[in-house]
Amino acid sequence: MIDAIRNAFRIPDLRKKILFTLGIIALYRVGAHIPVPGVDPASMKDLVSGADSTLGLLNLFAGGALENFAIFALGIMPYITSTIIMQLLQAVIPTLERWSKEGEAGQRKITQTARYMTLGIALMESIGLLTVFQAAPPTGLGVDFDLLTEIVIIISLISGTAAIMWMGELITQRGIGNGMSLLIFASIVSRFPQTVIASFRVHAWFMLLVLVISLLVVAAVVFMEGGQRRIPVQYAKRVVGRRVYGGVGTYIPLKVNGANVIPIIFASSVLLFPTTIARFFTNVAWLQKAAEWLSSGWSYIALFAGLIVFFAYFYTALVFNPIETADNLRKNGGFIPGVRPGNPTAQYITNVLNRITLPGAIFLALIAVVPQAIFQQTGDQLVAAFGGTSILIMVGVALETMRQLESQLQMRHYDGFFK
């Protein structure tokens, strides 16, 4: 691995990409410590550190920017949310579906629409944060901002979100890896030393046990990320002139965890929605009870696990269309051995996909809810901040970035990370 890193820095253009990526990440971390005008960062830090899972999760993905109420307090989540929404809408809006099939030109239209949607989501989230922070203690700061200050804060947060979106796209275009994923990776990793030190001061032996378990979880995540079912495919021979085409064998790779971390994000959003609504209607007793029931205790864990399994199947069915795959195979003269072309092929692929999605969905549910259950029993912040979801994101991003470096090195006849 050390030789691979040394080889990467020996290549001038690859070295420029790596340094450019590190420079953008450093700039992103600087922005996480620049507070917006008119806010006391010390009071905000006390509020977020003692807040519920809603603000705590947002603060984790923002790399601590929320507790500083920095210009990057909203983090990359508005863009991630808009991207997921655009993926969902492609299945129900014919125009978006047509754009997705138009190649690079259509993808540019989808990306531009996602950018505008990101700014709209950032506007709503910034207004929501202002409402939360102006609420009476302990749920808020109890500070009554004047109109001009509110406008400045909202503009600062929206501008910060636009800057993060721009930096992520710059990394994707000129750097190494997926820019948005790397920014989330940097946000999560940046919180690790501070949380470890705080946890070590409380109970050192338990912290060491958590770190050992985390290493085992990392190994399990790596194993599941590489797990796939390969459906064999054969292509019929065709004679065109004097040449024979086809007759070769290949396969359709179906990942065990095809949805990655998306089901966890969906399930978290659904369960956090009642809590967010309850913040605006503090006088409605039944809404407060429902929000409490859906945001804590074993009822929350059970619903969280069930929703993760549901969204794993939902998202997998959304991004992978067996009917379209079977139709493409038939048009190109391909077939699965022992399975008739057409509808039987689509049904066969659907059955295989449903079977392999179940262990992947159960794995995601365990990764997400086990740390939550441990945190409820121990109250350890290390478990809360760096549970399975964070590890899943970090390992997935690290593996994808290493694969890209691997391909870049092999293109230049160097040994990569995976020998």
10-residue mean pLDDT series, the chain (419 residues)? 70 86 90 81 66 62 76 84 81 84 83 90 84 68 76 90 91 85 84 71 68 77 82 75 66 83 76 67 72 73 86 83 85 83 88 90 84 66 61 79 78 59
Domain match, 160 and 297 both: no
In the chain, what is the straight-line distance between the N-terminal and C-terminal CA atoms, in Å? 9
pLDDT of residue 65: 75
Domain match, 40 and 164 both: yes
pLDDT of residue 163: 92
391 in any annotated domain: no
52 in any annotated domain: yes
Contact 1, 159 (CB under 8 A): no
Residue 376 CB burial class (10 angstroms; 0-12, 13-18, ≥19): middle
Q: How many CB atoms are closer than 10 A to CB 194? A: 12
**The tokens 């804060």 sit on which residue?**
153
Provide the residue type at 228 as one letter.
Q
pLDDT of residue 23: 92
Contacts for 107-110: CB closer than 8 Å, 24+ residues apart: 110/86
Within 13 Å, how many C-alpha atoms sit on residue 40's CB side? 12
Domain that holds residue 187: 1-191
CA 256 remoteness from chain centre: 17
In 3D, which of 55, 21, 332 has the Cα closest to residue 168?
Answer: 21
Domain match, 216 and 83 both: no
337 in any annotated domain: yes
Cα 330–Cα 332–Cα 333 angle in degrees, nearest 5: 65
DSSP 8-state symbol, 36 = P
DSSP 8-state symbol, 231 = E
Contact 405, 176 (CB under 8 A): yes
Number of domains in the chain: 2
Residue 168 CB burial class (10 angstroms; 0-12, 13-18, ≥19): buried
Domain match, 209 and 116 both: no
pLDDT of residue 105: 84
pLDDT of residue 162: 92
Strands (E), 5-106: none
99 in any annotated domain: yes
417 in any annotated domain: no
Domain match, 148 and 225 both: no
pLDDT of residue 24: 92
Residue 294, token pair as written in the block: 């859906």
Please give the order of strands across the beta sheet that includes 334-335.
249-255, 228-235, 334-335
Domain match, 155 and 230 both: no
